[in-house]
Amino acid sequence: MSSAASASAAGGAGEEGGAAAAQPQQEGPVVTCKGVNGLDKVVLREVRGSSAEVYLYGGHVTSWKDEHGEELLFVSNKAIFKPPKAIRGGIPICFPQFSNFGNLDPHGFARNRTWSVENDPPPFPVPTSNKAYVDLILTHTEEDLKIWPHSYEFRLRVALGPGGDLMLTSRIRNTNADGKPFSFTFAYHTYFSISDISEVRVEGLETLDYLDNLQERNRYTEQGDAIVFESELDRIYLGTPSKIAIIDHEKKRTFVVRKGGLPDAVVWNPWDKKAKAMSDFGDEEYKRMVCVEAAAIEKPITLKPGEEWTGKLELSAVPSSYYSGQLDPDRVLQDSSVPEDSIS
């Protein structure tokens, strides 16, 4: 892996939650160093100044900053950077199970495992000339096999685009030697940093059906022209478009979520009572975050031995005036377009 970017301005959201992280002195697009509580992390920096941080524990993106150094992801000040507890905030990866859709612990085990940097991964469909990226890999352990008896390879690329876009590409392959297929559900559990939850609306999910996790997962149809927040909200939207917008009126900023191979979208804010019930979440922090998650939940992904699934997420932050209802409607994901049926 190339030596790289200064992490001095990217100390990691949530550093208040543990010992201060040592900062590297190297310059360049990719730096490995120690984060909170001595955990290994990778810092990515794009030449114009945007940055991202990825902890090997969980393959977990904990920071994404724009060229001005403003943090775009939310990590709780009470986040516990100490295995086996998952990190509260950023982009946890839910695999091989979303929430309690199965027999595993909620959200599976990928976010509770230590990943490895893969210096020579299999080639991507479209090579990139950008150098601000890291490839991680997670494979089954004996511990995993006791609770989920399948062999797999999970490759994750985290990359920063030239304009500061954050891109995550997951490639999951069935490596079972016994000829058995396996099925899984998946989500990029992204926590966005916002001005105030009352100032935010989510567009792109109008008229769609959703499962309401607060109503025994009963199925409803979205009636509003946008999603706004006045109380706890926890929904799984089904058959969603490849692009969703999160408009923050106070900051005059729009997050654009583009996704491939991930037909569902989770929208979540815990509101006050649930926030107070979480030990790793501040009582008032629900006001400064919203989760909009690219996911595959309603219809689990099934892979036969040798088959690979790809799920892509691309996040952009643009001025809200630039959005005006439609943003580059024909634009595809930067590395390559990924069809909804993305198993090869």
| Residues noted as catalytic | 189, 293
Helices (H), the chain: 142-147, 271-277, 320-323
315 CB-side CA count, 13 A: 31
β-pair partners for 268: 234, 291
Query: What pairs with residue 75 in β-bridges?
Result: 89
List the alpha helices (DSSP H) in 154-306: 271-277
Question: The tokens 């985290």 sit on which residue?
Answer: 158
Report the alpha-carbon distance of residue 324 to residue 63 in Å, rounded. 27
8 A C-beta contact, residue 213 and residue 106? no
Closest CA to 235 of 220, 256, 254: 220
Contact 42, 53 (CB under 8 A): yes
The closest of 191, 172, 208 to 307, measured between CA atoms, is 172
